[in-house]
Structure 1
Amino acid sequence: MTNEEVEQLLKSDLALSDVKVKSEGTHYQIIAIDDQFEGMSRVKKQQMIYSPLSEKIADGTIHAITIKTFSNSQWEREKLFNS
């Protein structure tokens, strides 16, 4: 599964503002950005991201995922600190 396919799946299923995906083989790093993460627990955020990918995880297409989630304002701050 390509990075673009993962991005498109998450954007279409979850209506996210933005998604960034990097991968190495079957290991994926996902940054998901949307205001719906505001006030949500870390577990709920991860469950939300895992949900559309569960079939690909079950069949081994995706083996491991690292997830970071940000609201739009948190993402703007993150970009400032890491630029």
Structure 2
Amino acid sequence: MNSEKLTEILKTAFPQAEVMVVGQAGKFDLRVVDDNFTGKRPVARQQMVYAPLNSFIADGSVHAVTIKAMTKEEWRKASIFGV
């Protein structure tokens, strides 16, 4: 699995989202910015991101991910204030 393929998978699952994937060798940092996360708790957001990755986690091609799942407004504030 490479970051380009993982980006494609997440863009299919979250077509309106801004998706950024960095990593290699099964270890990835994911940022998904989508207003579909509005009102959802962090665990629910992570579950939404994990869902399209489950088969790749199961077969070992993805084995470590760090997820930042934010709304557009949360990402805007984080970008401005460095949070």
TM-score, length-scaled by structure 2 = 0.90
Instruction: Provide the alpha-carbon RMSD of the alignment.
Output: 1.2
2:58 is matched with 58
Q: In the alignment, is residue 5 of structure 1 matched against residue 5 of structure 2?
A: yes
TM-score, length-scaled by structure 1 = 0.90
SS at 1:36's partner residue? helix
Moved over 6 A (4+): none
- Stretch of structure 1 that moved more, 1-10 or 52-61: 1-10
* CA offset digits 1:28-69 (Å, max 9, x no partner): 110110111111011111111001000110000001111011
SS at 1:8's partner residue? helix
Cα displacement (A) at 1:16? 3.9
Q: Distance in 1 between matches of 2:63 and 2:9?
A: 17
Contact preservation (8 Å) 2:32, 2:68: yes
1:74 is matched with 74
- Stretch of structure 1 that moved more, 62-71 or 15-24: 15-24
Q: Distance in 2 between matches of 1:16 and 1:53?
A: 18
**Unaligned residue ranges in structure 2 (runs of 5+):** none
2:18 is matched with 18
- The aligned length equals 82
**Unaligned residue ranges in structure 1 (runs of 5+):** none
Cα displacement (A) at 1:12? 0.8
